[in-house]
Amino acid sequence: MKRFNIKIWQLLLTIALLAIWIYSYIANTDITNSVVASGMRFGMPLALAAMVGIMCERSGVINIGIEGTMLLSGFTGFYIASWSKNIVVGLLVAILTGVLTSFVHAMMTIQWKMDQIIAGTIINILASGLTSFLYKEGSTIPNSWPIFDIPLLGRLPFIGHAFFTQQGPIQYLGLLLIPAIWVMMYKTRWGLRTRAVGENPGSADTAGVSVIKVRMINVMIGGAIGGLVGGFICLELVGSFSKEFTAGSGFTALALMIFGRWNPMGAFAAAILFGLAQALSTQLQIFGVTNIPNQFITMLPYVFTIVVLAVSAGKVRPPAAAGRSYEKEQA
């Protein structure tokens, strides 16, 4: 009965959003396209950051260090690109940083069975401290990752302009990566094992699946994605490194993951919705809606997150083993 209700809600929400989109598309195509496109532009990094959370939590590791992972990766990515004058090298270093950071997290939580929240906090504090301390003003990168159109898809009616033009590589990459993660999670052997490890590690262990290996690998794949996002934010979206540039987006991503019920496609939809709220608030500022103070308009996406989480909170059910280190039963 409960499962059925949730589906009805999701369906209604989807229909309502589609209706609004189609209506405004017909009413004013250009503005609608640009709002949707910037929703995608804002939303995709968050969607990918939410994938980091999904990879970790589905295998039973709560990772609140996404924020720190992105911060560190953006930092190393940007300064290495600046030093080597090569943004490809910068991006690769960012990904590597993500993997290494998550490796540290994985060692702490999975091997040494440390409290996962504390481990994540350590990563965040470390990242914030290191990057502020080593920060140097005035560095530049030779060029940033370009924004481009996808040749054929960009001409598709309705969705073409909004999704397939004037986006950066991370947006297009995300459109491939997120469905791939979904397929991995629900259709492959690795996905089945990952979910089993996240729900009841004992069942996987007794079936001959190594809980530690599955968790380590998933957390590190998550780290690679986190590094990718951090790197692209500094090397494309913003084009520079500024202190604390993540500004809580790692935590927003976790909220979106919960809203999407630990499902990659769900989190993606949530992130795009959040991106749209952000795009809308920007649009409202451009149009100079002056009778509402600016602060309230910039608040919009966050209010949206809080409301959505509060509304859906009662019904969510995280992976049962998330947050608990696995120890074989004794005696």
Partner 1 sequence: MEALLRIENLSKSFPGVKANDDISIDVNKGEIVALLGENGAGKSTLVKSVFGLVKPDSGTITIKGEVIEPGDTAAAIRHGIGMVHQHFQLVPVMSVVENIILGDEPHKGAFVTKKAAREEVIALSKRYSLDVDPDAIVEDLPVGIQQRIEILKALRKDIDLLILDEPSAVLTPHEIDELLEVIRKLAASGVGILFITHKLHEVMAVADRVVVLRNGKLVGTTSPKETDEEGLAQMMVGRNVVLSVEKGPARVKEVALEIRELSVKDDRRLDAVTHFSLEVHAGEILGIAGVEGNGQRELVEAICGMRHRENGSVRVSGKDSPDMDPRGVHLMGVSHIPEDREKDGLVSSYSIADNLTLNQFNLKPFADKGVRNFAARDEYADRLVKEFDIRTPSFQNSASSLSGGNKQKVVVARELTQNAHVIVASQPTRGVDVGSIEFIHKQLISARDGGAAVLLVSAELDEILSLSDRIAVMFGGKIVAIIDGQGADRQYIGRLMAGLSE
Q: How many CB atoms lie within 10 A of CB 138?
A: 5
Task: Confirm or reject binding of residue 318 to partner 1 (CB under 8 A).
Answer: no
Task: Confirm or reject binding of residue 181 to partner 1 (CB under 8 A).
Answer: no
CA pair distance 94, 234, nearest whole angstrom:
10
Task: Confirm or reject binding of residue 18 to partner 1 (CB under 8 A).
Answer: no
Task: Confirm or reject binding of residue 1 to partner 1 (CB under 8 A).
Answer: no
Q: Which stretch binds partner 1 (CB under 8 A): 54-62, 169-177, 214-222, 323-331?
A: 323-331
- Kindly tell me which of 136 and 317 has the beta carbon lying closer to partner 1: 317
Q: In terms of C-beta distances under 8 Å and separation of at least 24 residues, what long-range contacts does 299-305 make, across chains too? A: 301/274, 301/277, 302/252, 304/273, 304/274, 304/277, 305/252, 305/255, 305/256, 305/259, 305/274
CA pair distance 312, 308, nearest whole angstrom:
6
**Site for partner 1 (CB under 8 A): which residue of 24, 165, 200, 285?**
200
Task: Confirm or reject binding of residue 137 to partner 1 (CB under 8 A).
Answer: no
314 token code pair:
């009662």
**Minimum separation from the CB atom of position 54 to partner 1 (A):** 16
Q: Which stretch binds partner 1 (CB under 8 A): 59-67, 82-90, 170-178, 204-212?
A: 204-212
Placement of tokens 């629900």 in the chain? 186
Task: Confirm or reject binding of residue 205 to partner 1 (CB under 8 A).
Answer: yes
Cα distances (angstroms) measured from residue 230 to each of 24, 91, 137, 152, 307: 33, 9, 19, 29, 27
- Decide if 60 contacts 220 (C-beta within 8 A): no
Task: Confirm or reject binding of residue 153 to partner 1 (CB under 8 A).
Answer: no
CA pair distance 277, 214, nearest whole angstrom:
36
Region for 114 from its dihedrals, namely left if φ exceeds 0, alpha if ψ lies in -120 to 50, beta otherwise: beta
Task: Confirm or reject binding of residue 314 to partner 1 (CB under 8 A).
Answer: no
Task: Confirm or reject binding of residue 149 to partner 1 (CB under 8 A).
Answer: no
- Kindly tell me which of 204 and 267 has the beta carbon lying closer to partner 1: 204
- Decide if 255 contacts 273 (C-beta within 8 A): no
Task: Confirm or reject binding of residue 212 to partner 1 (CB under 8 A).
Answer: no
Task: Confirm or reject binding of residue 46 to partner 1 (CB under 8 A).
Answer: no
**Minimum separation from the CB atom of position 52 to partner 1 (A):** 21
- Enumerate binding residues for partner 1 (CB under 8 A): 187-190, 192-193, 195-196, 199-200, 202-209, 317, 320, 328-331
